């Protein structure tokens, strides 16, 4: 009996951490939906001029919008990095068997939307710079929609979606680093490398004082901002160096004394309920003044929307089907094919990260608006379709017909 108790306690702790993460993301997604709608209403109301003017106002060296997108979102990426590291070392992605299904599904869910976008925009080389826009999944939005179904959706499906979206976020971070980097300042880049080396050394030496990592992380953010690489990547790099303390004699983490767990716990609610909604409000506001049907059916707009809806559906569901049919993986426990189809549709909600990549890809406000139209249309269609399919599948699954 004594030998099984620590394992049971650890399992309970991990389940509690996962449940808290899913609850925060789901609730944050519902808040984000409301904020995005409010931003659109504001951008098309008498308050529109003040809204856009405030975002362009400079505070020190950066405009308000840049402070939000470059500084506040660095904390979002810090949390993303912490979640990726924790899941890889001590969570749902801690073994190759657990990584296989969500990992391959995430890869398919990034590749197919990009190909669809490229197919729509082959005749416009300038528009091809936005190829990665529909490749991203918004974990908060997707889990927010999933949470509306409550217990009708098995917990394993929520874990699958969370794991897929986390791997998707990792892919998006790599894409941003490789393809959306401006001209480099090699002096600042060298300084960034030096700070990173110190962070890695501190980790190797077993330094557990979190404030040291955060202080160096602030310096890293400034240097990365000046280097030409997008400043938010400093958050991911910092996250990967924050130590995770293991329980003596086991490969399991000790959340109560682990700096990584402590920082992740501290950031979860502020990021879900403050930072991401602020980003959404600052960037979802798109004016429909002067918008014609021709704008909505332009290749760029359609490429984004079709990439999110059709691309994610084919990419995610198709790869899951191939793996399961080949006997390389199993469906999430207690989940049906219809429910997996619904989750694949929810992956087409690309709001936060898609908006972020769109802002990096294009400087022209008119093109950014077209990107936003495509993201909003695709995300709404994917969200509604996913909810409807999941509702129908849950009823059929409960009746034993699927």
Residue 176 near residue 230 (C-beta atoms within 8 A): yes
CA distances from 322 to 112, 262, 265, 329 (A): 15, 39, 36, 9
| Residue numbers in the chain where pLDDT is lower than 70 | 1-26, 92, 182, 246-256, 290, 397-402
Nearest to 393 by CA among 316, 335, 353: 335
pLDDT value, residue 279: 86
Measured in residues, the chain has a length of 402
Q: How far apart are CA 325 and CA 319, in angstroms?
A: 10
Per residue in 2-44, pLDDT tens?
A: 344 444 444 444 455 555 555 555 677 778 788 888 998 998 9
SS3 letters across the chain: CCCCHHHHHHHHHHHHHHHHHHHHHHHHHHHHHHHHHHHHHHHCCCCHHHHHHHHHCEECCEEHHHHHHHHHHHHHHHHHHHHHHHHHHHCCCCCHHHHHHHHHHHHHHHHHHHHHHHHHCCCCCCHHHHCCHHHCCCHHHHHHHHHCCHHHCCHHHHHHHHHHHHHHHHHHHHHHHHHCCCCCCHHHHHHHHHHHHHHHHHHHCCCCCHHHHHHHHHHHHHHHHHHCCCCCHHHHHHHHHCCCCECCCCCCECCCCCHHHHHHHHHHHHHHHHHHHHHHHHHHCCCCCCCCHHHHCCHHHHHHHHHHHHHHHHHHHHHHHHHHHCCCCCCCCCCCHHHHHHHHHHCCCCHHHHHHHHHHHCCCHHHHHHHHHHHHHHHHHHHHHHHHHHHHHHHHHHCCCC
- pTM here is 0.75
pLDDT value, residue 227: 85
pLDDT value, residue 16: 52
pLDDT value, residue 181: 72
pLDDT value, residue 321: 95
Per residue in 210-260, pLDDT tens?
A: 999 999 999 999 999 888 777 888 988 999 999 987 655 555 555 667 899
CA distances from 395 to 146, 277, 331, 386 (A): 15, 33, 18, 14
């Amino acid at each position: 009996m004594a030998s099984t108790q620590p394992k049971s306690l650890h399992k309970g702790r991990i389940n509690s951490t996962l449940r808290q993460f899913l609850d925060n993301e789901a609730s944050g997604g519902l808040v984000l939906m409301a904020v995005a709608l409010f931003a659109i209403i504001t951008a098309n109301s008498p308050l529109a001029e003040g809204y856009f003017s405030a975002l362009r106002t400079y505070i020190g060296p950066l405009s308000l919008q840049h402070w939000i997108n470059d500084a506040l979102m660095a904390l979002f990426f810090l949390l993303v990095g912490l979640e990726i590291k924790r899941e890889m070392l001590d969570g749902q992605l801690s073994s190759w068997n657990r990584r296989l299904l969500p990992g391959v599904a995430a890869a398919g869910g990034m590749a197919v939307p990009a190909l669809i976008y490229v197919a729509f925009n082959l005749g416009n080389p300038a528009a091809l710079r936005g190829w990665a826009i529909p490749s991203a999944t918004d974990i908060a939005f997707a889990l927010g929609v999933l949470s509306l179904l409550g217990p009708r959706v098995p917990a394993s499906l929520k874990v699958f979606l969370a794991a897929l979206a986390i791997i998707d976020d990792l892919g998006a971070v790599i894409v941003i680093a490789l393809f959306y980097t401006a001209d480099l300042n090699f002096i600042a880049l060298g300084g960034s490398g030096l700070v990173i080396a110190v962070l890695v050394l501190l980790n190797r030496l077993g330094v557990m004082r979190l404030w040291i990592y955060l202080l160096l992380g602030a310096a890293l953010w400034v240097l990365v901002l000046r280097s030409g690489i997008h400043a938010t990547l400093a958050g991911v790099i910092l996250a990967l160096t924050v130590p995770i303390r293991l329980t003596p004699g086991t490969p399991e983490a000790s959340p109560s004394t682990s700096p990584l767990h402590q920082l992740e716990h501290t950031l979860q609610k502020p990021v879900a309920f403050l930072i991401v909604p602020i980003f959404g409000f600052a960037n979802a506001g798109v004016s429909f003044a002067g918008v014609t049907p021709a704008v909505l059916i332009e290749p760029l707009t359609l490429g984004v929307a079709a990439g999110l809806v059709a691309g994610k559906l084919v990419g995610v569901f198709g790869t899951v089907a191939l793996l399961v049919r080949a006997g390389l993986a199993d469906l999430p426990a207690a989940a049906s094919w219809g429910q997996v189809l619904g989750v694949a549709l929810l992956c087409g909600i690309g709001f936060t990260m898609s908006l972020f990549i769109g802002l990096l890809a294009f400087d022209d406000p008119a093109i950014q608006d077209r990107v936003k139209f495509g993201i909003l249309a695709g995300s709404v269609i994917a969200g509604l379709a996913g909810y409807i399919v999941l509702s129908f599948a849950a009823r059929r699954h409960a009746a034993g017909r699927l």
